[in-house]
Amino acid sequence: MALDGGVLPETGGVRPHVTVVVDLPTLLGQPGAPAAQLDRLGAISGDAARRLACDAGICRVITNGRSQILDAGRTTRTVTPAQRRALAVRDGGCVRCRAPVAWCEAHRPRQPPPPARPKGIDLGPTDLDNFCLLCWGCHRDVHERGWTLIRGPDGHWTARPP
């Protein structure tokens, strides 16, 4: 209701509400996995689904086949509002291109997964130190074009091209 009432900021505030249906193999980035489906708009890639999930409220729905609902969990966030405010102060905008905070999304930089952990599922703790701000374009570059973010000992981020 609040989103529809127009009382929240249009950018840099509460994230939009969308539904993405994605199979586990797609989320894991397995070859030959089906595309994810974006709320009545059609197919999107697994990379796009992971990018959307990077700074989103996540609500799982576990099914047995297409119609038998086994569990519908409550929404959980990957970054809290307090963490987002702290990121705005610490990063001051996109850590790659310096775009303003209002244009940015919280991103949990990918760490190389150990062999026992599937790629793209556990990206480390949801601690402030494991988040940074990226504008929409740089966020897409990281998730879909192979850019890598590296945090130096001084706490500053460096973007490395593919």
**Residue 87 shares a structural domain with residue 103:** yes
Which H/E stretch holds residue 149?
strand 148-151
Same domain, 62 and 92: no
pTM: 0.58
From 19, 54, 72, the end of a domain falls on 72
Q: Which domain holds residue 111?
A: 78-160
Listed in sequence order, the residues at least 6 apart from 156 whose beta carbon sits closer than 8 Å to its beta carbon are 95
Last residue of a domain, one of 16, 46, 72: 72
pLDDT in tens, the chain (162 residues): 555 555 655 555 555 667 788 887 887 788 888 888 887 788 988 888 878 777 676 776 766 666 677 767 666 667 778 888 899 999 999 999 999 998 998 888 755 444 444 444 445 567 788 889 999 999 999 988 889 898 888 888 989 999
